[in-house]
Chains A and B, each alone.
Chain A
Amino acid sequence: GAVVSQHPSWVICKSGTSVKIECRSLDFQATTMFWYRQFPKQSLMLMATSNEGSKATYEQGVEKDKFLINHASLTLSTLTVTSAHPEDSSFYICSASKDGGQPQHFGDGTRLSIL
């Protein structure tokens, strides 16, 4: 149990376009989901906490207008990178927790490449 699915796994797009990444909890309800960014050979940096039915909480330094998060249901959160530029290229990973607690269960990540 506790499977988190992330889609797409890899996306390449032109600079200036917007990209949506989905994170789904397949076999449990997740009131809270998390979005991380990981640069090559580095650790995960928390971008924001996504709460079902309310606004996301962004970490310091993360542009909320750039990285739009929607958590419309208990099984789905989306991250939209708006007007993406090459510096937004990265590996984005989501996680979800059952019952609002620990541990977090991670998706397989999305590799975003902006040309």
Chain B
Amino acid sequence: AQSVTQPDIHITVSEGASLELRCNYSYGATPYLFWYVQSPGQGLQLLLKYFSGDTLVQGIKGFEAEFKRSQSSFNLRKPSVHWSDAAEYFCAVGDNFGNEKLTFGTGTRLTIIP
């Protein structure tokens, strides 16, 4: 069965600093990978996705993520965070054999300090 691990429960970053959120997955083949962001009391917004091709994917709001098969990772990065980036971030994996289910990681809460 597929699984996702987000090792960091909570990260605090200064505004303007760079950010990297870690995500490791377990899946038997090349998975579909996603990063979603959730603000308090809201649903999830898709930041970016990886299906195939270029392993460095660009998303919205200046985020990017890199798929590394050898490390089973899909880490999310942003070169300079803004206070509005404070939220909960979820990594998710979906299979690519027609089953549309997503398996989510436990999430990383991002706090931005001035």
Identify the A interface with B (CB < 8 A): 4, 6, 32, 34, 41-44, 46, 49, 91, 93, 95, 97, 100-109, 111
Contact = CB atoms under 8 A, between A and B. Distances in A.
Contacts, number: 55
B56 to A, nearest CB: 18
A91 B39 CA distance: 13
Interface residues of B, number: 21
- Please provide the 6 A-B residue pairs with the shortest distance between their CB atoms, ordered closest to farther: A106-B44, A106-B43, A108-B43, A43-B104, A109-B43, A43-B106
Contacts of B114: none
B90 A44 contact: yes
Given A103-B49, A106-B36, A111 B100 contact: no
Contacts of A102: 32, 34, 49, 51, 94, 100
B100 A93 contact: no
A99 to B, nearest CB: 10
Given A43-B107, A102-B51, A102-B94, A109 B42 contact: yes
B41 interface: yes
A49 B100 CA distance: 9
